[in-house]
């Protein structure tokens, strides 16, 4: 795909710290699958070191161990359910009752797979199925256009997300917003998307995106979510995907990827290919919080966005 960038997109990429390279003729790789997508010339690219676990024992591809906080285009004429969707704003689980530290855990409510948006949001807000409910300020359900073609799936709420009730806020959220804007998307665009506080709304040129995390409650101390916590919570994400019915999913970060794709393979080995979840193409990429710590990986994240755009174009998107 030949991606044409206008001055604004180039400015956005500059904000991300991503250089836009003009492809030069390069020798063909030995095998097509070995060729990196839109990789910069070797002289211009400094490979990042192999991710290592930090002092806290956490994988740096994951964001749940830091203070950054976590994260819908046009209407889909083929989505018959879209006409019946309520205009839902999901920044905060205002009806959540926060249990005390000794509250007993309860089973998830039945029928999640058949819930509509209000019922699903209520179920998440009331959920006490795992121990993460005991330390949350509020659940972090999701934000954006519930009819979006694009969906971003992150990992678990951080401190600011827990406080604000919205995924991907803080520095990593700003980077994500810049990345999305570079490809014409905004969490504040779309008929169902909430406007930013004090803002007239997103420019009409931007399309919507829906953003959610795999885990809806903040792990204490921003630790990584445990596998049983991810397993208990992912039914809510599955229903969100079924309700949004996106045309493409960007899976950001190790736990998002592992939950959606049911694999333990590292992100580096899953990138550059099209996976599927509920029949929806999934593109794997790094979490923005990781990119903030590993600046040399931004070019890879940009290549992942380009792959996602290519998949969307091949799918005949209106965009
Ligand atoms: S993390 Fe998910 S499963 Fe655990 S209490 Fe929160 S909403 Fe329920």
Q: Which residue did the predictor score with more confidence, 184 or 79?
A: 184
Tell me the torsion sign for CA atoms 170, 5, 273, 18: negative
- Whether ligand 1 lies within 6 angstroms of the CB of 215 is answered as yes
Asked if pLDDT for residue 51 goes beyond 90, the answer is no
- pLDDT of 8: 58
**pLDDT tens digits for range 169-203:** 999 999 999 999 999 999 988 766 676 666 656 67
Vertex 76: Cα angle to 260 and 212 (nearest 5): 35
How far does the centroid of ligand 1 lie from the alpha carbon of residue 227, in Å? 12
Ligand 1 in reach of 305 Cβ (< 6 A): no
From the CB of 285, is ligand 1 less than 6 Å away?
Answer: no
Ligand 1 atom 2: the closest Cα is on which residue? 233
Q: Phi and psi at residue 317, in whole multiples of 5°?
A: -60, 155
Residue-level pLDDT at 295: 87
pTM for this predicted structure: 0.73
- Can you name the residues that pair with 248 across neighbouring β-strands? 150
Asked if pLDDT for residue 65 goes beyond 70, the answer is no
Q: How far is the CA of 124 from the centre of ligand 1 (A)?
A: 7
Q: Is the CB of 130 under 6 A from ligand 1?
A: yes
**For residue 163, how many other CB atoms are within 10 A of its CB?**
16
- The rounded mean pLDDT for the chain is 76
- Nearest residue CA, atom 6 of ligand 1? 217
Q: Whose CA is nearest to atom 4 of ligand 1?
A: 130
Q: Kindly state if the Cβ of 123 falls inside 6 Å of ligand 1.
A: no
Q: Nearest-5° angle of CA 112, CA 118, CA 122?
A: 70
Whole-angstrom CA distances from 221 to 48, 63, 66, 216, 227 are: 27, 12, 8, 15, 17
Percent of the chain with pLDDT over 90: 57
- In short, whether 124's Cβ falls inside 6 Å of ligand 1 is yes
Instruction: Indicate if the pLDDT at residue 100 is higher than 70.
Output: no
Q: What is the mean pLDDT of residues 94-109?
A: 60
Say how many Å lie between the CA of residue 133 and the centre of ligand 1: 6
Task: Assess whether the C-beta atom of 216 lies below 6 angstroms from ligand 1.
Answer: yes
Residue in the structure block whose two tokens are 């991810």: 230
**What's the burial of 72, exposed, middle or buried (CB within 10 Å: 0-12/13-18/19+)?**
buried
* Length of the chain counted residue by residue: 319
Report the atom number in ligand 1 closest to the C-alpha of 128. 5
User: Which of 103, 115, 127 best tests ligand 1's pocket when mutated (most atoms within 8 Å of CB)?
Assistant: 127
């Amino acid at each position: 795909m030949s991606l044409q960038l206008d001055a604004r997109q180039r400015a956005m990429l500059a904000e991300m710290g991503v250089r836009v390279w003009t492809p030069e003729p390069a020798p063909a790789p030995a095998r097509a699958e070995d060729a990196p997508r839109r990789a910069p010339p070797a002289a211009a690219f400094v490979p990042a070191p192999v991710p290592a676990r930090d002092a806290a024992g956490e994988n740096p591809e994951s964001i749940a161990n830091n203070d950054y906080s976590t994260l819908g285009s046009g209407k889909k004429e083929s989505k018959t359910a879209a006409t019946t969707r309520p205009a839902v704003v999901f920044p905060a689980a205002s009806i959540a009752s926060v249990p005390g530290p000794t509250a007993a855990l309860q089973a998830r409510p039945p029928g999640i797979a058949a819930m509509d948006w209000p019922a699903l949001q209520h179920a998440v807000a009331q959920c006490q199925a795992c121990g993460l409910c005991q330390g949350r300020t509020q659940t972090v359900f999701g934000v954006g256009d519930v009819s979006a073609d694009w969906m971003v799936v992150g990992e678990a709420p951080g401190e600011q997300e827990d406080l604000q009730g919205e995924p991907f806020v803080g520095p990593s959220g700003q980077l994500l917003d810049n990345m999305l804007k570079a490809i014409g998307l905004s969490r504040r665009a779309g008929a169902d998307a909430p406007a930013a506080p004090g803002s007239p709304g997103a420019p009409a040129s931007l399309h919507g995106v829906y953003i959610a995390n795999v885990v809806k409650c903040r792990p204490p101390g921003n630790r990584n979510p445990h596998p049983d916590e991810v397993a208990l919570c992912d039914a809510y994400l599955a229903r969100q995907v079924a309700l949004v019915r996106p045309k493409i999913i960007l899976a950001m970060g190790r736990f998002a990827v592992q939950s959606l794709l049911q694999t333990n393979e590292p992100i580096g080995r899953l990138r550059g290919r099209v996976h599927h979840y509920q029949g929806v193409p999934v593109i794997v990429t790094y979490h923005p919080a990781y990119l903030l710590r590993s600046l040399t990986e931004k070019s890879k994240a940009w290549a992942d966005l380009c792959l996602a755009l290519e998949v969307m174009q091949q799918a005949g998107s209106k965009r």
